[in-house]
Amino acid sequence: MSLLHFRCKERRRTVRVNLTVPLAVHGQSDEGEKFCVHTQSHSVSQHGAMMEFGGGVVLVGQVLHLVNENSNRKADARVVSVQRKRDGKVFVAVEFLSSEINFWHMTFPISGAKPLRKLAGQKQVTA
């Protein structure tokens, strides 16, 4: 039996990077109760993040206020996915409401960009 590999077009605007950043997530439940959850990112992109979410109930479409606890940068984000794993962990994916911010304070390559590689046997040029 052979294993087939399928290639699909990348739909993300920027690549996703595995990066752990401590976050404070502020939100409000449907009943109007405010909550604050301290968590960390699992993966990030220029336009959002995936984070493990240990408390509070969030729904797709809900707006959360994120605080990067390393840089104290703040941003509002919309929940785009809630995934409940078999081990009981809950992962929440969010998309920033404003694309003009640099919440992670880093530069991301565009989607589909090929990494720069040195060819075998090629000398590295230094200035």
Instruction: Assign domain 22-96 to its CATH superfamily.
Output: predicted glycosyltransferase like domains (2.40.10.220)
- Asked if 83 and 115 count as a contact pair (C-beta separation under 8 A), the reply is no
Q: What DSSP character marks residue 122?
A: P
Residue type, 91: F
Selection from 56, 62, 55, 58 nearest residue 95 by Cα: 62
Q: What is the pLDDT of residue 40?
A: 94
Q: What is the pLDDT of residue 9?
A: 46
- pLDDT under 70 in the chain at which residues? 1-14, 56, 110-127
The helix, strand and coil proportions of the chain, stated in percent and rounded to the nearest 5, come to 0, 40, 60
